A and B are shown apart, each in its own frame.
Chain A
Amino acid sequence: MIIFAAPWLLVALLGLPILYWLLRVTPPLPRPQSFPAIELLRDLPVTEESPARTPWWVLLMRMAAAALLILGLARPVWGPGPEAGGQGPLLLVIDDGWAAGPDWAPRMAAGLAALDGAAREGRPAALLGTAPADNAAPPRVLGPMPAADLRARLLALRPKPWPTDPAAAAAALAEWRRGPFTTLFITDGLNSGPLGAALGAGPLSVIRAEERPRRVLAAPRAEPDRLHVTVRQTALPIAAQSAVLARTADGRALARAPLTFAPGATEATAPLELPLEIRNQVVRLEIEDEAGAAAVALLDERFRRRPVGLLPGAEEGGDAPLIGDVFYLDRALAPFAEIRRGSLDSLLSRPIAVLVLADRPVAPGREEQALAAWVQAGGTLLRFAGSRVAERPDTLLPVQLRAERALGGGLTWEQPQSLAPFPENSPFAGLPIPAEVSIERQVLAEPTARLAERSWARLGDGTPLVTAESRGQGRIILFHITATAEWSNLPLSGLFVQMLRRIVALSAGVNAGPDGEVPLTPIEALDGFGRGVAPPPAAASLALAALEATMPSPRHPPGWYGTPGADAAFRRALNLGAALPPPLLAALPAGARLLPLDNVPAERDLGPWLLAAALLLLAADLLVSLRLRGLLVWRVAALVLALVSPALTRPALAQEGAGAIATRLAYVVSGDTALDELQRQGLAGLSDFVNRRTAAALAEPAAVIPGETDLSYFPLLYWAVAPDAPAPSAAALASLNGYMRNGGIILFDTRDEGSGEGFSPGSRAALRRVTGGLAIPALAPIAEDHVLRRAFYLLNELPGRFTGAQVWAARDQDRANDSVSPVIIGGHDWAGAWATDARGQNIHAAIPGGTRQRTLAYRFGVNLVTYALTGNYKGDQVHVPAILERLGQ
């Protein structure tokens, strides 16, 4: 739809017929012609009045130019924003709570379009965000002010990682309201309570995304071998798909759990199956392709690797191979748990999930009380029987012990027993039981009424083998056998490992922490898009005990909280999704007009384009007129055209074989002239630096187009990914893959990370698009001891024009290519830092800046070139002392 900002100018279109008539009656200028025999032409009788008319197509062109001029001056606008109608200032109310993150861009587009519309109508506008601000100030109405001035305020708005505050917003509205006003409400669609009623006072238009459900990732539930993730959403009439990703601290996605919502369903659960060793690396779950704090669940210590304390029965000899008390336990637990040793006091002084007492009696008195208190607070005490325990039973046992019995000995009739299938209510349910496991001795439990339900495992004759009892938040588990192969061969079997694993997974983790009342300070907060940021200024510390019940707010943003000081390793996550109630769609306020949010096309002012078209037509008309009068030589016209269209020319590509004559760096032509020039200048600056500082001699950098240029001559391709970069063609993919396979290095630069965040929006998506078809190996951040950090200079950071973000290279060493990573991916805009102009001056300022950063950027470039030219030769150098030492021996 097109509207005109200055429609009265269209009246001038009425003048077009007059213009047509004028153009028609005015004959074209005669073409001059020199002629010697002019006297013979003198006074020739004119036989007929010539129809000296302007050619019809020239006429058409001029009329079109005039019409375009008029239309352009009338400022047509394509796809104008929603019309608010009504009277008075336009009040723009935007829900900027947690639900705004996923569709923030369309919300901003809709808001900006509305402001543009208000600016056209000349009406003032006001802005109200319904969530509390970062500084915990309640919602406040900005304005009324000219709509154009409000644009900047609107653009400064960000979604918040906490819920909206409709009551406070309604109060702010009541305070602001003076005369009539018109409201445009861009809403989550969730319950807006009193605000909806307050807005109903004037004409109200509501914009909300109908097709897009609001999703919340609820707190995950941990089971021994899996995580159950639950996503809640507002009901949709159709089935929907979603997925939850599990990510590590460095951002790698380890697993993906697809979820399916039935039509009308508000909740879906899926298991996220991960081996425990892998699961311990997961710190973050997030809903795929959903940006927002509610779509992120941070997994803290409760979900992670459990510290397990081992305490042997005898102080010495516990680790003796094959016969030590904890030898088998240590072997079984080490792969998935952190094992701690020491005295009981030292073990209990730090958070610990499981404490294993292997045939160690508990001394009555202080030791018994400390252990009991620890179990009450959530500890899991795992005990193994043995001769010592059988002699001196204590209170920290799940059952009363009766006697010790031996099976299959020389003095008994009974045969060694095997295990019965695990009961349904046992945590061990489902574990396969190997046939060769046999029990020869055990301690017997005093039969009580509750013995059956406390038994997690039984022998074939029904006597309990593993019993457990809950005490407070904790649990005491007893294996009625020793942890050595003395009484049974269970510790030798794989079943033993699996049973231990389930027990550890069952433990509550280190939730005891230091103390329930210790305040935890915010370490890292999530922003409205679910990204980790520094905590906002208003964020305050939070007592550990209160963490569970806290609804995130400006004072307590979701994110990581930890103890200050030395024990900073202890941290807990405050998750928004766990605190939120299930999202529910609210009904529209009465009398409101509903507008869809999605597919609001960006408003586009067509005026300049029309004027440009008119000017082009007039320029063409000038050329044609000159041609008709014979004053134009086509060759001159072609020359002029060639001069005015330098933008159409491509950068000079690398001549075929140019790279074979001299070593030179190359960059991939992006199609954006400015970016290509930047890359060229950057590589030229780096080549100069490398030539000055090292023995390498680099020629002028070359421009290449993958698939068209032969890449095999170039040691390094620099690829600054433009936000609109298309996916490479099949030929380009084949060429690039071959290049990487044969030892080439491609440096991808998105130019928007670290301190340059937001400089080139969209280039990360472009990077995914560009690299989609490439054979990129598994990536990891460049480690401290990576060759890239020491190929020439020793570097701790790898800054370019920006700094502070991760730089990625191949994780695994590939011997085929001398362990050289075929790709390096980062976003530091190195070319910008290296770029020099003709006088050798740096063109772009570094951010945050400083000579040091520039120098380091060049040093990284030198390391990069050295790395590309010499491979991991320098990596070998690192091992020289070790090699020499070995040779010396």
Chain B
Amino acid sequence: MPDSSLRAEALGANLPPLVVQAERVAATVMQGVHGRRRAGTGDSFWQFRPYLAGDAATRVDWRQSARADRLYVRETEWEAAQTVVLWRDGGGRMEWRSHLAETTKRERASLLLLALAALLLRGGERVRLLPGPPRSFHGRGALPALAAALATHTATPMATPMAAQADDPGDAGSLPRHARLVLFSDFLAPLEQTRAMAARFAARPLRGKLLQVMDPAEEVLPYAGRRRFEGLLGELPALLPRVEAVRDLYAERLALHRAALGDLAQGLGWSFATHRTDHRPETALLALWQALAPS
């Protein structure tokens, strides 16, 4: 079992199990499985109805029938799992960490993705990985397979010389409609690219959430003196004679960028949150849970 999936399991175990649409299935025993509000196959009690001719005798609920004069049949609710689509940016920008953080942004994003997936799988949801095999993972045992798929996704671009590439979740064509979508990235690409990608998924339609994973250095710009900044995707370097002089200006720009991302998400009916790699991942997971639950 890959190490990352172990850590994700451990992380997921610390949280109460995620319950999607808890208000609809108050009585569900198995978290994450929510009823279709119709009688059908399932374990959850739905209603008692009077015995009709033709019903099998075994379906009679004798305890309920004994309270009255009539025979009652116990009906259970029809249950169905939902698909949650996950993507984390594996691009060159994510493969970076500053001296202020312990992990790279990609490691943190992978961890969050797997933790979320662990919770979801435990809750019985189906999890789909982007870009990945055109099948959903389900069942508690699927987490290692998911982690392996994530690893191959990461490994493929790293093996090529063009490691410093941007990553893209790909096409939304094969995704189930009305699935939930969670995107982990630093969203530092130009705003237009992000907007186009989000629009592609929103048109499917999918309801999504953007989680911006950032290094603390990217927020506070802790450098000083004369520096030549070099991008990770082969961008032109930028020479700053005194970094400390532009720190406030940079913070301003970052805030503007985030505001634009927030507007973008809101326009699509999505949500947007940020996470720093020097913060605890549990915080972000809780926020995700809160974002996923009340819809």
Contacts and interface: CB of A to CB of B under 8 A. Distances in A.
Interface stretch (B137-145, B222-230, B261-269): B222-230
A485 to B, nearest CB: 113
Contacts of A30: 226-228, 239
A41 B240 contact: yes
B245 A48 contact: yes
B250 to A, nearest CB: 6
Contact of A40 (B105, B217, B257): B257
Interface residues of B, number: 33
A48 B254 contact: no
B68 interface: no
B253 A36 contact: no
Contacts of B238: 38, 41-42, 44
A50 B246 CA distance: 12
B218 A36 contact: yes
A591 interface: no
A47 B244 CA distance: 11
A48 B240 contact: no
Given A40-B253, A40-B254, A42-B238, A34 B232 contact: yes
A28 B226 CA distance: 9
Interface in A1-49: 27-28, 30-42, 44-49
B96 A31 contact: no
Contacts of B227: 30-33
Contacts of B239: 30
A174 interface: no
B158 interface: no
Nearest to B224: A31
B228 A36 contact: no
B102 to A, nearest CB: 17
A52 B226 contact: yes
Given A30-B226, A31-B226, A33-B223, A39 B235 contact: yes
B2 interface: no
B250 A35 contact: no
* B93, B215, B232, B241 interface centre (most CB from chain A within 10 Å): B241
A30 B242 CA distance: 10
Nearest to A27: B226
A32 B226 contact: no
Nearest to B96: A36
A27 B241 CA distance: 10
Contacts of A31: 225-228
A656 to B, nearest CB: 44
B96 A50 contact: no
Contact of B242 (A33, A37, A50): A50
Contacts of A36: 93-94, 96, 105, 186, 188, 215, 218, 231-232
B226 A47 contact: no
* A36, A38, A47 interface centre (most CB from chain B within 10 Å): A36
Interface string B158-193: 000000000000000000000000000010101000
Given A33-B223, A46-B241, A50-B241, A38 B229 contact: yes
Main secondary structure, interface of A, reads: loop
Given A33-B223, A36-B93, A41 B241 contact: no
A35 B254 contact: no
Contacts of B249: 44-45
Main secondary structure, interface of B, reads: mixed
* A34, A35, A45, A49 interface centre (most CB from chain B within 10 Å): A35
Contacts of A46: 240-242, 245-246
B242 A35 contact: no
Contacts, number: 91
Nearest to A630: B227
B188 A39 contact: yes
Contacts of A52: 225-226, 241
A38 B231 contact: yes
A38 B250 CA distance: 10
Contacts of B240: 41, 44, 46
A48 B243 CA distance: 11
A421 B204 CA distance: 150
A27 B242 CA distance: 13
* B186, B190, B242 interface centre (most CB from chain A within 10 Å): B242
A45 B249 CA distance: 9
Contacts of A39: 188, 190, 231, 235
Interface in B193-242: 215, 217-218, 223, 225-232, 235, 237-242
A38 B241 contact: no
A313 to B, nearest CB: 118
Contacts of A28: 226
A47 B250 contact: no
B222 to A, nearest CB: 10
Interface in B256-277: 257
* A33, A47, A48 interface centre (most CB from chain B within 10 Å): A33
* A30, A37, A41, A48 interface centre (most CB from chain B within 10 Å): A37
A827 B231 CA distance: 72
Interface string A42-69: 1011111110100000000000000000
A45 B186 CA distance: 25
B188 A37 contact: yes
B226 A38 contact: no
A48 B239 CA distance: 14
Contacts of B241: 46, 49-50, 52
Contacts of A47: 242, 245-246
B90 to A, nearest CB: 14
A37 B249 CA distance: 14
A28 B188 CA distance: 31
A649 B94 CA distance: 47
Contacts of A45: 246, 249
A38 B237 CA distance: 8
Given A31-B227, A33-B230, A38 B235 contact: yes
A694 B257 CA distance: 89
A147 B187 CA distance: 82
A36 B228 CA distance: 13
Nearest to B227: A33
Nearest to A50: B241
A297 to B, nearest CB: 83
Nearest to B91: A36
A700 to B, nearest CB: 47
A36 B230 CA distance: 8
B231 A35 contact: yes
A47 B218 CA distance: 21
Interface string B100-132: 000001000000000000000000000000000
Nearest to A41: B238
A58 to B, nearest CB: 14
Contacts of B186: 36-37
Contacts of B230: 32-35, 38
A98 B223 CA distance: 80
Contacts of A44: 238, 240, 246, 249-250
Nearest to B92: A36
Nearest to A51: B242
B168 to A, nearest CB: 17
Nearest to A53: B226
Contacts of A50: 225-226, 241-242, 245
A717 B229 CA distance: 65
A464 B95 CA distance: 128
26 contacts: A28-B226, A30-B227, A31-B226, A32-B227, A32-B237, A33-B227, A34-B229, A35-B230, A35-B231, A36-B94, A36-B96, A36-B231, A36-B232, A37-B188, A37-B218, A38-B229, A38-B230, A39-B231, A40-B188, A40-B253, A40-B254, A41-B238, A41-B246, A42-B238, A44-B246, A47-B242
Q: Which 10 A-B pairs have the closest CB atoms?
A: A50-B241, A38-B231, A36-B93, A50-B242, A30-B228, A30-B226, A35-B229, A44-B246, A37-B218, A52-B226
Interface of A: 27-28, 30-42, 44-50, 52
Given A28-B226, A33-B228, 8 more contacts: A32-B228, A32-B230, A36-B93, A36-B186, A40-B257, A41-B246, A49-B241, A50-B245
